[in-house]
Amino acid sequence: MAEPILRVTNIIAGYGPISVIKGIDFNAYEGEIVGLVGPNGAGKTTFLEALVGNIEIREGQIHFLDKRIEGMSVMKRRKMGMVLMPQEDYIFPFMPVKRNLQVAAVLSRDEEKEELLDFVYGLFPVLKERERQIANTLSGGERKMLSVGMCIMANARVVLIDEPSIGLAPKIVTALFENMKTIKEETGKTLILAEQNVKILKIADRIFGLEAGKIRFCEKTEDLDEAVVKELYMGE
Ligand SMILES: Nc1ncnc2c1ncn2[C@@H]1O[C@H](COP(=O)(O)OP(=O)(O)OP(=O)(O)O)[C@@H](O)[C@H]1O
Ligand SMILES: [Mg+2]
């Protein structure tokens, strides 16, 4: 099997004197969807923030595209092709929808910007319909679609998405997750989704279970005992 595009070895990270991430090994391959599941406070957000460099790690290594990146700035990691869609909104609230998408593409090549925009509009036709609307007047679901659209415009190889399902109606979650699959299949990107919604089990290739800052399991989704995962990690 090919080398993972992202390889994390025994990282420790946290805030002040407290270590929230307590020695995590993790990997992701090109063109797969990885689910990172775990209860509130498990450390999902902290882990993603550490990957993109928003917080520094205390110990361990992060390899991305065969380079050590744990000492690199956020911008350098971003330029190498890693982007995070945070748990809160990622949009520029006072700009129109289309402008948001264009700004997100600032690091993409000019000749690919049109193509990326067409792809995003194809995935989320509502964004095309509302391209002139000011972003903070969108509905919650539309804002998530815009945030995901902006991640695509950024044209990264690895897209980290922190709990995209939060606050969305079940039908919208299903549609959004189907779109994640389309993104994976049509672009070959690696998507890493922190989630507590069980529907992650329908789209992820592999699942990492995070609890109290440690990885408790890593399995192919098809090999998982769904009932156990739901009870332990998704509060069902
Ligand atoms: N800026 C911070 N300063 C101090 N502690 C923090 C900070 N951010 C998070 N924590 C703590 O780190 C732990 C892990 O939080 P984190 O947000 O990573 O969990 P999570 O798995 O993303 O949870 P959720 O599902 O609720 O989003 C929690 O105990 C939280 O209180
Ligand atoms: Mg979180």
Q: For the chain, where are the E strands, in sequence order? A: 6-15, 18-28, 33-37, 57-64, 67-68, 82-85, 158-162, 190-195, 206-211, 214-220
The tokens describing 145, both together, are 């679609």
Could you tell which of 46, 51, 166 is best to mutate to test the pocket of ligand 1, judged by most ligand atoms within 8 Å of the CB?
Answer: 46
Q: What is the pLDDT of residues 200-235, one digit of tens each?
A: 999 999 999 999 999 999 999 999 988 877 777 776
Q: How far is the CA of 114 from the centre of ligand 1 (A)?
A: 38
Q: Is 40 in the pocket of ligand 1 (CB under 6 A)?
A: yes
Ligand 1 close to Cβ of residue 13 (< 6 A):
no
Q: How far apart are CA 110 and CA 125, in angstroms?
A: 22
Identify the band that residue 87 occupies on the pLDDT scale cut at 50, 70 and 90.
confident
For atom 28 of ligand 1, the residue with the nearest CA is 41
Q: What is the pTM of this model?
A: 0.94
Q: Which ligand is nearest to the CA of 36?
A: 1
pLDDT, tens only, 42-71: 999 999 999 999 999 999 999 999 999 999
- b/e map 169-193, b = 16+ CB within 10 Å: eeebbbebbebbeebbeebebbbbb
Query: What is the Rg, in whole angstroms, of the alpha carbon atoms belonging to the chain?
Result: 17
Task: Give the chain's domains with CATH numbers.
Answer: 1-80+192-236 (3.40.50.300)
d(CA 145, CA 126) in angstroms, rounded, equals 9
